[in-house]
A and B are shown apart, each in its own frame.
Chain A
């Protein structure tokens, strides 16, 4: 589904990604862990097409197409979803209005007509129960005045509605208390299928107790330095990241 080859990117003059290789197949859940500043969120941003990031090398194919050649909205319509670490607030635009606009674009991309208001409402209702999303929040302005947990749940609601092929969860666990974390994780688990895939970016192992990954990768200094299964996450939890850093510095020439 997703094929990343030797991906390199920078922000302004700073090299952030220094050659990422990663393949994700349908039905898989991958976790990317790593210390702060290792490039985890940058990877998510580059995949989603944030303008500040300049790709300097490598390639990414998504469902056989060149992902890097697509505008952000096309990537989204093709089925790549990013659950933001910091979802933005848009005053005056109701959550409903926003969801409707997003749905309509996704459907148009597939050559489908917009849902009728009645169909749309029924669809929202169905998905909203999945993530235990408060109906009142649907009529409020998008994310405005939402708590951290409400914002993250709103991300998962959107994920549920848009039914992407690949979902990238960028530190979705940050700022969540344990109850909110459980609800979010339960929502994601319900959405897992053999046809879609998840890339979960997290600093802590905690989220992976609830969303169990098939593969765990450790990102450090712009590269994936280790890949393994769930045990790797547990090992990191136990030992922290320092040992990794030391190990890496031993391997790399001193700059």
Chain B
């Protein structure tokens, strides 16, 4: 019978499934961050003047902003001058069909389980694949266009729908929001753009798959989703990166805009390389995600399954401006080895009768630290605002930590804000009970953890829920004796 230590050893030795590297001709900017690089990126992307101006404004803001100090982990020194801010597959130009895409790239995505060939794709899911900084392919565009749905790379959107981009870019996450958001605004290279017209229910799930491949680069993508009045869209993002000894920076920005009676459901399965068992390597994931329920009766729902990254720093938020609007946040964050996750949400209640619902499930194993940080604010005009927050922490082993920092600020006496929190441990008793019924320890832990996270996993589109369940099991493989 394997002892606890042996099993932990097995876990530590287990390799990250997506850690391979693709060899492909890349065009890379030299390391360094300055105005010239920003002009270079903007020129490469043939951007209009207003966008370059916006980038430069963001860069000025970035230079004045300081690194955050309030997080519950030691923030490593990041030398922004050492990174390269542009990396793209060389033969890129513009693909008219998948046949023109470098087959090596297509193989990479196949290997990741993201076939870009529409015949092979998951039924009912359109995918935009982003490799390093550049969108490689977007599937099912024709079918979507018939409904008037725009789903394309950010770069194309700037060229083809400049008015929409100009109208909404930076309206939810301003260029000076925080140091990472400002950095992103200055150097972002690509990302996804979605527009759902009035009254349209998007006929399929939209999905973006991000892959960091190149060395010593950062990935800075931007996603902008606009759901016009009475529309609905469900959007999913996934991500992986090769295993490297150095840390890599990922600083993304996601902006969601829901107009009257619109609904956006945004799901993330985050599986960036977490580093090895000693905490060497791994992605620093500093992400700013925010949505605004601009119109009355609109709804934004964030669901995230966070299993990767050496450091995760993200707080998908909702600004509940429209009356009767609803914000939701469902999260499972798993940390093992030396991973650190400081994640949670912010709900800003501004309109009347606004409601928010927060379910956070943290799972910590190994020597990891798992932090929930949440802010619920109720403004003076948010009469009868309601919030319910539930934060659960599950500990595996006795060397990890779980912390909860919920902040609540209410300026309206009619508001009702509730917070519940629990902490539990995977008991040896639970594992033994399942063992005694013929279920081995690996599967027992998977069952227990998936049971614990069920409320959140149930929010994911079905294909991805299955993926997420597997991912949870893999991440925690062997972490219980």
Residues of A within 8 A of B (CB): 48-51, 71-73, 75-77, 81-82, 84, 87-88, 90-93, 97-98, 101-102, 105-106, 109, 141-142, 158, 162
A84 / chain B contacts, CB cutoff of 8 Å: 433, 436
How near does chain A come to B205, taking the closest CB pair, in angstroms? Answer: 25
For B433, the closest partner residue in chain A by CB is A88
Binds A, one of B229-237, B238-246, B304-312, B446-454: B446-454
A101 / chain B contacts, CB cutoff of 8 Å: 434, 437, 439, 443, 447
For A83, the closest partner residue in chain B by CB is B436
Instruction: For the A-B complex with A49-B1, A76-B437, A97-B447 known, give 17 more contacts whose Cβ atoms are closer than 8 Å.
Output: A72-B436, A76-B435, A76-B436, A84-B433, A90-B430, A90-B448, A92-B451, A92-B452, A93-B448, A93-B450, A98-B434, A101-B434, A101-B443, A101-B447, A105-B443, A106-B438, A142-B451
A91 to B433, CA, bound (A): 14
Contact A73 B452 (CB under 8 A): no
Contact A98 B437 (CB under 8 A): yes
A101 to B428, CA, bound (A): 19
A168 to B186, CA, bound (A): 68
A90 / chain B contacts, CB cutoff of 8 Å: 430, 433-434, 447-448, 451
- Interface size bucket, B side? 20 to 34
A90 to B437, CA, bound (A): 14
A92 / chain B contacts, CB cutoff of 8 Å: 450-455
A101 to B448, CA, bound (A): 12
Is the CB of B54 closer than 8 A to any CB of chain A? no
For B440, the closest partner residue in chain A by CB is A73
Contact A82 B429 (CB under 8 A): no
A126 to B430, CA, bound (A): 27
Contact B433 A87 (CB under 8 A): yes
A142 / chain B contacts, CB cutoff of 8 Å: 451
Is the CB of B427 closer than 8 A to any CB of chain A? yes
A162 to B1, CA, bound (A): 23
Contact A48 B450 (CB under 8 A): no
Contact A49 B435 (CB under 8 A): yes
How near does chain B come to A93, taking the closest CB pair, in angstroms? Answer: 4
B428 / chain A contacts, CB cutoff of 8 Å: 51
Contact A102 B455 (CB under 8 A): no
A48 / chain B contacts, CB cutoff of 8 Å: 432, 436
Contact B430 A162 (CB under 8 A): no
A217 to B434, CA, bound (A): 29
A92 to B428, CA, bound (A): 17
